[in-house]
Amino acid sequence: MTAAARFEAALDALAQRHRLRRLEPRAGLDFASNDYLGLAGSALLTEAAREALAQGVPPGAGGSRLLRGNHPEHEALEAEAAGFFGAEAALFMGGGFQANQAIFATLPAAGDLILHDALVHASAIEGMRLGRAAARAFRHNDVDGAKQVLADWRKAGGRGQVWIAVESVYSMEGDLAPLDDLAQLAHEAEAVLVVDEAHATGVFGPEGRGLAHGLKAELLTLHTCGKGLGVSGGLICGPRAMIDMLIARARPFIFATAPSPLTAAVLRAALRALQELPELLRDAHRRMAHAHAEARNSCGLEGLQSPIIPVIIGADDATMARARDLQERGFDVRGIRPPTVPRGTSRLRVSITGNVGAADITALFATIAAQRAEAV
C-alpha cells in the first residue's frame, strides 16, 4: 500500500465515523465565527488598512523580527497593547496557537509544574509537550481540585516554580473561569497565573480588556487578535523579564517570519476602537443577553455566560445532520466533534457574533427548538 493509499483509507474511516473534517464555504448568517464585535469585515478596519497602506506601511515583514522583520508598527502595537492591558510589556506574534506554544515551551523550566485546567486550548497542551516542565491537569473549573493536584505534587517532592494555566472564557463550553479564586491560589502558591483571554478580549472587562484585568497575581495573559479584535495574531502581555525571555529563547518567535506590519497597524485601530466606541461592547452584551434569553426560553438552556452557546447533541452523526439542516435553512452553525470535545458530547457551537441581529438570533433558536421536537 502506498502512503497516499494509506491516508485515503484513514480518511474513509474518519468519514464512516462522521469525523472527517473538510473546508466549507461561508454561507448564511454568521453563527460560527468568533467575530464577536463584527469588526473583521468592518468599514472601520478596512479604512485603517487603507490609511496604513497610504502611509507606506508594508503588507509583508520580509523576515523574522530578530533579523530585518522588526517594524515600527510592531513596536507601536506592543507598547499600546501593554498599556491597554495593564502589563509591563507585550509581544506580538503571528497567531494565538503560536503564542501559546511559545509560552509553555519556553518559560516553565525543568523541575517546574504547569497546573492546568483540563479544557485549556490544544495550543497550550502542544507547548507543554514541547517544554521541560511537568504538566498536571485538574478538573474543569475545580479550584479545590487544583489545590489537591498541587499538594500531591509538593508531597512527591516537587519544589519548582508553579504555573497555573487557564482560559478566562472556554472556547467550547462558553463558561467563565473562577479567576478570583485562581488568583488567590496563585498568590498562596507563589505561582504565575497564565490566562488565555482568547474569547474574552474585546468582549469582557473594562473596554474589552479581558476578565483577568486587574487581578492581584503574578500574571501573564494572551490576547488573541483574530476573535473580538477582528484581525489576526496574538499578544502576550506580562512582566518585561518574561517577554524578553520569549524574545531571546522562544523558537516559535525566533524562527518565524514576523507578522505583517499592516496587520499590526490595523490592530492598533481595533484597540483604539475599543476605547473610543463604547457601543461596540454595549451592543455585544445586548446581543448576548438576548441570545441567552432565547436559548433559555426556546431550548431550556440555562447558566449561559458568554457569546459561546453549546447545544449538546451527543452523537457525531446526529450533530452533523442538525448542523447541515441549519445551514440549509440559512444559519451558519457548525458541528463540533471529538477530539475537539470529549466523546459523547458532540455539539452545535452557536457563536453570537456582531454580524447578526436580534431577529436572526430569535429565528435560530426557534429552529433549533423545532429540530429537537422533530427528533423526539
Does residue 259 share a domain with residue 189? yes
Q: Model pTM?
A: 0.94
167, 115, 214, 269 alpha-carbon torsion, rounded to 10°:
-40
Does residue 283 share a domain with residue 251? no
State the pLDDT at residue 25. Answer: 84
Tracing cell 441549519 back to the chain, one arrives at 326
CA separation for the pair 320, 312 (Å, rounded): 12
State the pLDDT at residue 22. Answer: 84
Does residue 73 share a domain with residue 30? no
**Three cell numbers written together for 339:** 477530539
Does residue 259 share a domain with residue 224? yes
State the pLDDT at residue 27. Answer: 85
Identify the domain containing residue 290 by its residue range. 25-40+278-375
Does residue 191 share a domain with residue 174? yes
State the pLDDT at residue 376. Answer: 62
CA separation for the pair 235, 191 (Å, rounded): 21
State the pLDDT at residue 18. Answer: 82
Active site amino acids:
34, 121, 167, 171, 196, 199, 227
Does residue 111 share a domain with residue 73? yes
Residues in the chain: 376
In a domain, 1, yes or no: no
Percent helix, percent strand, percent coil in the chain, to nearest 5: 45, 15, 35
State the pLDDT at residue 21. Answer: 84
Does residue 182 share a domain with residue 75? yes
Q: Indicate the number of domains in the chain.
A: 2
State the pLDDT at residue 355. Answer: 98
In a domain, 8, yes or no: no
Per residue of the chain (376 residues), give pLDDT as tens: 899 999 999 999 999 888 888 888 888 999 999 999 999 999 999 999 999 999 999 999 999 999 999 999 999 999 999 999 999 999 999 999 999 999 999 999 999 999 999 999 999 999 999 999 999 999 999 999 999 999 999 999 999 999 999 999 999 999 999 999 999 999 999 999 999 999 999 999 999 999 999 999 999 999 999 999 999 999 999 999 999 999 999 999 999 999 999 999 999 999 999 999 999 999 999 999 999 999 999 999 999 999 999 999 999 999 999 999 999 999 999 999 999 999 999 999 999 999 999 999 999 999 999 998 887 6
The CA distances from residue 39 to 125, 197, 231, 267, 301, in Å, are 29, 18, 8, 11, 28
In a domain, 19, yes or no: no
Does residue 358 share a domain with residue 265? no
In a domain, 334, yes or no: yes
State the pLDDT at residue 307. Answer: 98
Q: 276, 293, 325: which is the final residue of a domain?
A: 276
Helix axis angle for 96-106 and 240-249, nearest 10°, is 100
265, 270, 275, 281 alpha-carbon torsion, rounded to 10°:
-170
The CATH number that applies at residue 62 is: 3.40.640.10
State the pLDDT at residue 375. Answer: 75
